[in-house]
Structures are given as C-alpha cells and as structure tokens.
Structure 1
Amino acid sequence: MSTFIQFHILTRYGLSNPNRDDQGRPKQAMIGGSPRLRMSSQSIKRALRESAFFALDLAGNRGTRTKRLHDGLLDRLTAAGHPVEKAAEIAGQVAEVFGKLDNAPKGQHHRTATTLAFISPEEWATAEELADKAAAGEALPDKKALTKMILRKADGAVDIAMFGRMLADNADFNRDAAVQVAHAFTTHAAQIQEDWYSAVDDLNKKEETGAGHLGETGFGSGIYYQYVCVNADLLVENLAGDKELAAKGGEALVQALAVATPGGKQNSFAHHPRAEYLLAEAGGQAPRDLSGAFFAPVTRQPWLDASVEVLEKIRADLDAAYGPGCDDSRVMQVGKGGTLGEIAQFVGDTIRGL
C-alpha cells in the first residue's frame, strides 16, 4: 500500500498574466458554468523545477530536459582537440540512445533530437564518459548495449522522479511520475481584462504627435486553488531507494509550491504571490482532490475566507461519507496559524518514516 501526500493550496494573485494561451492572453476554463482563470499544470511544474528551492536544495540532483545532448557532446570532444567529423559521429551514436536526431544541415555538424529528453546527471555523465573513451580509440558497444549502459530506471534525479519522463524509443526506461499536479483555477468567477498601452519615442520631435508603438495585453486576478498529489513510495523507488534524498525533495516541493509561480509577463505585472492557505495530508487512503468545492463559484467576500470555508466543508463532508481521507495533516493559514517550515518538516518526516 502506498503512502500519499496531498496538498490543497489557495493563493491570491493580483493583476497578472502568469500563464498565457496562444494569443498571449491568460488561460481560462469554464467550471460549473462560470468563467475562471487557469494556470496549466505544465507551467506550474516548470516553475517548481526552476525555483530557488530546487536549484539550491537539490543541486546536483536535477535533470536536464533538452534536445541538445548531441551538441553538448560534440562541443566537449572538439574542445578536447578531437577532429569535428569524428566528434560528430561519436556524439551522434551516444545521443541517439535518448531518441532520434535530425540530420545536420549541409556543411554543419550540430544536430538536435526530434523530441525533448529528460536526462539525469548520472546519465549525462555516463554519456560523456563513453564519448570520451570512444574519442580516445575505445570502440563503442552496439546500440542495445549502449542504451543499457547509459539509461537508468532509477537514480538521483529528483525532478525526473517527481514528474516522470517518456522515452518513445526506449520505453523500458520511462519513469512514472510520483507527483501529480493539477491545473490551478480561480475559486470564483473571473474574466480577462484588456490593457491598451503605448510607448513613446524618446527622440520624437515636438511637432510629431502619436505614440511610437501601440499594443495590448490581457490580465486578470483572483484566488487560485491548486491540488498536488505525491506518491511517496514511488518517489523513493524512482530515487533508487534513497529516502533521505526523497525527503529533501519533498521538503523542497512544499516550499516551492508556496512561492513559485509561472513567469509570464513577470516584468509587466511583478506578480510574486505567496500561498495564504496550505493544507498537507498524508496517509494510505486513496487520493481525492477537493476541486468540487469550487464548482459553484465563491461569491461571498472576503473571497479567501469563503474559499477556505467551502474547501474545509467539502473535506469534512467527504470524510463523513467515505471515512478519514488521511492519517495526519498540517495546515498553514496566514494570519491564523501554522508555518511553512512545519509543513515541510511534516512532509520530510513522512517520507523518512516509510
């Protein structure tokens, strides 16, 4: 039986456009028949991976999502003095373990993969080591053997362990995500507003009128509900059984969830919100999100207090119908008690105690 750690988070965003659609406007969703603002799970996971907590607390244990392993190996070998043609051939053989490569343009040697690959530090280091040996004259094994030498089913890459990966050409080395991240959406009805703006040419002559540039951008504001579920046992398994590293990852995740945000239009709106309500639950019960609390949009002011009230009511109602949804929990609510540090410790202790 797996242990699940679930997070229910309410964060108040002022005027902002953190996650844009294909037209540059804030993403939206219709929920319960009312329009809401939305942030995609992909944008949130990116913000978590790029947060200072992951960068500092998990230094050396983060993967790299890229199409450019070939170019990294090529540059490494040519910098060591190997002929570019030989370096390109070796880099191609090694990099194709992670997926097919595009053909190099005529007269060039740089190639990119056709799909992004999520590469762990151990895999990258092994790829470099094998490329170095091949450049020094050691024969590379065939592709099947090379794949088994480089790819890992589990290692120390915390973000790959959390968010998983898919390798279309080597499905045996896919990793199931231990962390599920839902799309965030406003607990109340919210609509996009438009901002028409202009820019002035500093060298305009006095007799010239009008702006040097005209544009428009969309923005919105609201209180977002975010749900995240962690399969703690799978997280440890994906990290080759390293509970301490998994616990550090869980603690970094908690802190990032409270402050990390997608960076769309950051310079225009300077949105840097912090979670004002964070409920963490742990136990062996089947996960359940609490998004149903907001199918009927919150209409009472203050919206944050009303959102907390309906969230806790549906939680209590579900517990009454199905039994307790967790074995233990912690709450942080700004102005009312609990701290982020206490929740991080709760999560870390839960994972260490598996």
Structure 2
Amino acid sequence: MQNNIYVDLHVLQTVPPSNINRDDTGSPKTAQYGGVTRARVSSQSWKKAMREYFKEHEDKETLGIRTKKIVHSLAKVIMEKDQSIDENSAVKLAEDIFNKAKISTKDQEAKALFFLGGKQQERLASYGVENRDDLQIKEIQGILNKDQSIDVALFGRMVADAPELNVDASSQVAHAISTHEIATEFDFFTAVDDLTSDDQAGAGMLGTVEYNSSTLYRYANVAVHELRFQLGDNKDAVIEALKLFVKSFVLSLPSGKINTFANQTLPDALIVSIRSDRPVNLVKAFENPVKSRNGYVSGSVSSLKTEFGKINRFAEAPISTFTVGDIAGLGEDKENLNELLTAFGETIDRLL
C-alpha cells in the first residue's frame, strides 16, 4: 500500500441569483480575495448538505448522529435491547454511560453537540444492558473509539471534556468563493392578504431579500490513509466512503432560500486528483478575478487549467487525475460522474 494517499476535489459551479448561505443579518456571505468582494458559501454549510446527502443515499447503520440528545437516543436503543427496562431506568443508564466516559450532561442532554456513530450506539446499548452495575470507563471509551461511522471518520469529532474521544477528520472542505467579483443586489417583494376587501389598498407584507449570482470554485480533500485508519483498515468500506464523499460533494447543495430562488444547478467542471505527497488547493487560480461580459465559466476553466499545470513547480505530479464536464486534457476525461467514480474506485483499490 502507498504510505500516504490524498484525494483532491476541484469543482466549478455556476449558481444563479440566490442566497444559499447567509450571515446573522440575512445577507449572503462574502469574502475579500484578490482585492475584490467574492460570493462565499461556508464549508460548514456545504458539509451539512453533504451529510444530508449521506442520509438519503447511504445505509443509516454506517452513519452517525450529531445531537445534544444523546441520552434519550441511547435510552431508546437500550429499551429495544431489553424490553424489561422501563424508560426512566433506560434514561438513567444511558446518562450513567456517557457520564462514566466523561461526557458531561445536564437535564439529560449533552453540554455540546456529540457525534455518535450508529454502530457505537448499538454497542453502547448492549454493553449497558449487560453491565448495568459495573460500568467501566475504559470499556465505554473503547467502544466510542472503534467502529467509527463514515461521517464521523470523514468530518471528525471534538469532545472538550474528554479529548481521548476526539476523532481527527480525514477530510477538509474549503469555503467556496466566486472566481470573480460580485455585487450584492436586492429583491423588493410584496405579499397580498387574500382576505383583504376590494376597498382596501396596500400589501399585507413587504420586504427585501439580498442575493447575488456567481461561478463558484469549490475545493475539498481526503487523507485516504487517515480514513482507512478511522474505518478499521476495512478497504472496501474506505473505497465506498470515498466514492460517497466525491458524489455528495459534487451533487449536494445548501438549501438556504432554495424555494425562493430554485437554484438547482449542477457543476460545470470537476477534477479529481489522487496524490501521494500532499493535498493542493487551486484557489490561487482566481486571485486575479476572472473578468468577462459573456459569462465566467470559460474563463474560470482556463484559469483553473493553467494553475493545475503549475503544481509540479512545488509538488509531485498526481498519481492519477480524472475530469468530467467543461474541462479536459488534465488526465482521464470521463463522460459522466458514474464513469469517473468507477475508474476512481478501481485506482484507489489498486493503491490500497
């Protein structure tokens, strides 16, 4: 097996007028880069969309839950394991299990969101039922450090009260930014009260919504060797998790204001590179913002290809590169995403 393997994902995606990721004032998020204002979609927003995609397309047993309500979630599984245990006793046992592992709870809720794998919850419930009067911290923490779910392995887990339960994320997702300068616009809207009489004038409601349009550069990577460690050296699970990660990153979309703007777009271009030295973000391709009167995709593709060709000045050439969409000539060009995923999976299989 190759010692270190990294997967880089580069996506160009045109988003029409929208407000898919907002700040605390309701304005679309932005960033200053290259001396101009860019549209921005936070990595947290896109990772949430990816986890929702996981839930729709993956077996729930391989996924985890992130919640403060871990006590009641575990109690429910405990009662399923042993129907003689009533709800109050199950809740008490569940709380004792988490407290024993140094996960603090208050009013039967964790103090912070906790990422718990599905298989881990099943094993905790079985352990609790079998050892109700003799709970051991090492046993409980051992369960929480094994059989990581795909999403916990990819996105990590941080437990302030018990650092020994931390899980290093095997993936990184960058904030998406526009390849060009943007200007925020305002949509003034009114709503009519359906029961307003004919002799009454005026709107029942009025307001404004900020929005912008952009061609986004999106980047993510996965440390395959770290993912393999987190998934217990299960090669098949690693390959399927990687394919799911690629597919979810490409096809997911944050849902903010989606009913208002219907911004249901797909990527224009995708590059997937497999590397042995380190991951490489190509955002520098757009430090000089793309300028055009005829759309930004073509200019963005050209800038991205140019930057991709410069990688070898400082880093090793990729082991393999696959492309789909309005970009070609960088490696193996595929007709569609499914073809890319098949070739990508076969390459990872050989490397592992």
Q: Does residue 341 in structure 1 map to residue 338 in structure 2?
A: yes
Corresponding position of 2:228: 236
Assess if the C-alpha contact under 8 Å between 1:38 and 1:184 holds in 2.
Answer: yes
Structure 2 SS opposite 1:275 = coil
Q: 2: distance between equivalents of 1:78 and 1:341?
A: 42
Corresponding position of 2:89: 86
Structure 1 SS opposite 2:272 = strand
Assess if the C-alpha contact under 8 Å between 1:73 and 1:131 holds in 2.
Answer: no
Q: TM-score, normalised by structure 2?
A: 0.90
Q: 2: distance between equivalents of 1:266 and 1:93?
A: 42
Do the aligned partners of residues 302 and 325 (structure 1) sit closer, same or farther apart at CA in structure 2, a change above 3 Å counting? farther
4+ long deviations beyond 3 Å: 73-88, 130-134, 334-337
> What is the one-letter code of the residue matched to 2:238?
A
Q: 2: distance between equivalents of 1:17 and 1:42?
A: 15
Corresponding position of 1:108: none
> What is the one-letter code of the residue matched to 2:189?
Y
Corresponding position of 2:68: 67
The structure 2 residue matched to 1:132, chosen from 129, 133, 140, is 129
Q: 1: distance between equivalents of 2:281 and 2:148?
A: 29
Do the aligned partners of residues 119 and 139 (structure 1) sit closer, same or farther apart at CA in structure 2, a change above 3 Å counting? same
Assess if the C-alpha contact under 8 Å between 1:45 and 1:181 holds in 2.
Answer: yes
Corresponding position of 2:45: 43
Q: Does residue 317 in structure 1 map to residue 321 in structure 2?
A: no
Task: Let me know the Cα RMSD of the aligned residues.
Answer: 2.1
Q: 2: distance between equivalents of 1:98 and 1:17?
A: 41
Deviations 1:246-268 (A, max 9, x none): 11111112222221011111111
Q: 2: distance between equivalents of 1:73 and 1:315?
A: 48
Aligned length: 340
> What is the one-letter code of the residue matched to 1:282?
I
Q: 2: distance between equivalents of 1:208 and 1:150?
A: 67
Deviation at 1:207, TM superposition (A): 1.4
Corresponding position of 1:141: 135
Structure 1, unpaired ranges of 5+: 105-110
Deviation at 1:74, TM superposition (A): 4.1
Q: TM-score, normalised by structure 1?
A: 0.89
Deviation at 1:77, TM superposition (A): 6.0
Q: 2: distance between equivalents of 1:352 and 1:57?
A: 20
Structure 1 SS opposite 2:264 = coil
Q: 2: distance between equivalents of 1:63 and 1:84?
A: 23
Corresponding position of 1:107: none
Assess if the C-alpha contact under 8 Å between 1:184 and 1:227 holds in 2.
Answer: yes
> What is the one-letter code of the residue matched to 1:139?
D
Structure 2, unpaired ranges of 5+: none
- Equivalent residues in 2 for 1:197-276 (5 A)? 197-276=189-268
> What is the one-letter code of the residue matched to 1:215?
G
Structure 2 SS opposite 1:195 = strand
Q: Does residue 296 in structure 1 map to residue 288 in structure 2?
A: yes
Deviation at 1:232, TM superposition (A): 0.9
Structure 2 SS opposite 1:65 = strand
Corresponding position of 1:158: 150
Corresponding position of 1:185: 177
Deviations 1:175-230 (A, max 9, x none): 11111111100000012211121211111011111111122211111100011111
Percent identity at matched positions?
29
Corresponding position of 2:348: 351
